[in-house]
Amino acid sequence: MDNESRSPNDLVGSRENLPMNLQGIISLIDSARDNLESANFTIDLVEEFFRTIGAISYSRVQSNQISSDTRTKIDDFIVRKMKTPSFGTWTEFSDRCIKPLKQMGDRFATDNKLMMDNKIKDWKVAKRILTEIYRLDSGTSPHKNRIKIKRFLSETVNLRNIIRHRTLSNTSLQPLLDMGFKDYVVSMITELFARFHLRLYYPISIEEEGVMSYVVFGTKRRYQPVVVEKKENISLGECYLQIYDDEYPFQFRTRIIEYDWKLNQCYVYLKSEGVQVHCIPLQGNPHSRKGKWSSLEEVFEIRKLKTHIVNDVVTDSEYVFDAIRQHLDPNLAIALEQMELESSEKLVVANAILKEYSLKYSQDWDWKKWYSGLIIGFVKLGEL
């Protein structure tokens, strides 16, 4: 934030660069019928902002070769906490993703950390807002000095619990709205996103002229060929997120965000029961529906290597390659797939590779299953 006197109207133009789900909530804030709606929609904006940060962060985790131990911890967190994630769960999830990414020098992780750790410059307005929120809860704000942006945004979300538990009225929220609560939060989030140029790529087909894709920037979109050198391994009908203009457009894939190209709407993962996703359109009411994926594991693309080694990895060639691609090195999986060997020979080699991986990282290993796999492989070789 630049200074206390800056008008939120100065940022209307830059709102066009916000992802469409955030723009949809701002439209709801602008059209709120009363103070309760205005406050709740403002809180929705903060929550949706952190969901979006979580989706971006996780897409980059999936594309980077982070340590297997860190990856396992993130997977365990997803299984334990992301079935019905709360606001706190999304913030912790993004933190768990940002930390290893920052250690690897990821630009978005570095910029995001700096952004969230910045202390609010126009502290007087923020201080008045937090003081009023604590007063509504019959408490006293502990914040005497400037606080970080992330802490401020997290504190504002507490207002929802206060509204619910104390059954606040429109009248009781009037002082908070009068001091510019909603405009202040909208301006802050708009400015935070202004440093990024988030584009969503939704590839439809691969043609001679390029990868035919919907390219979505804010609420604007174009259907165009995207010219890239490497067209292999592009997942058609899935979303890719590009933060910086010089990034390869099909590097960071996400299933947390789904794109409906017919309606030009984005849907964000909500909960695993029925795999619900929700949409906040620019026009019309927010709504949820069943997403395109069938489970939490599919949404987050979790590969439980140890389970599959014990159960079926020996006889499931497709999963063997997925496991190597996920837990070791995508290039190794590609090289193995391209080797001039029969599938049974590749099965034997893949098992040997996974065995070495298991020994290195002290994974549990079903030796009887592994030897059975080798025997099956060699028997098939003998039949050639």
Query: DSSP per residue over 105-131, as a string?
Result: T-HHHHHHHHHHHSBPSSHHHHHHHHH
Check pLDDT > 60 for residue 384: no
Q: How confident is the model at residue 371 (pLDDT cuts 50, 70, 90)?
A: low
Distance CA 261, CA 292 (A): 13
Mean pLDDT for the chain?
A: 83
Distance CA 284, CA 330 (A): 43
pLDDT of residue 373: 58
Check pLDDT > 70 for residue 163: yes
Q: How confident is the model at residue 357 (pLDDT cuts 50, 70, 90)?
A: low
Burial class (CB in 10 A: 0-12, 13-18, 19+), 186: buried
The mean pLDDT value for 108-115 works out to 92
Mark residue 203 as left, alpha or beta (left: phi above 0; alpha: psi -120 to 50; beta: remaining): beta
* More confident call, 30 vs 283: 30
Distance CA 135, CA 141 (A): 8
Residues of the chain with pLDDT > 70: what percent? 81
pLDDT of residue 377: 58
Q: How confident is the model at residue 15 (pLDDT cuts 50, 70, 90)?
A: confident
Contact 183, 32 (CB under 8 A): no
Which residue bears the tokens 């940022």?
11
Burial class (CB in 10 A: 0-12, 13-18, 19+), 337: middle
Burial class (CB in 10 A: 0-12, 13-18, 19+), 117: exposed
pTM of the model: 0.76
Residue 137 three-state SS: coil
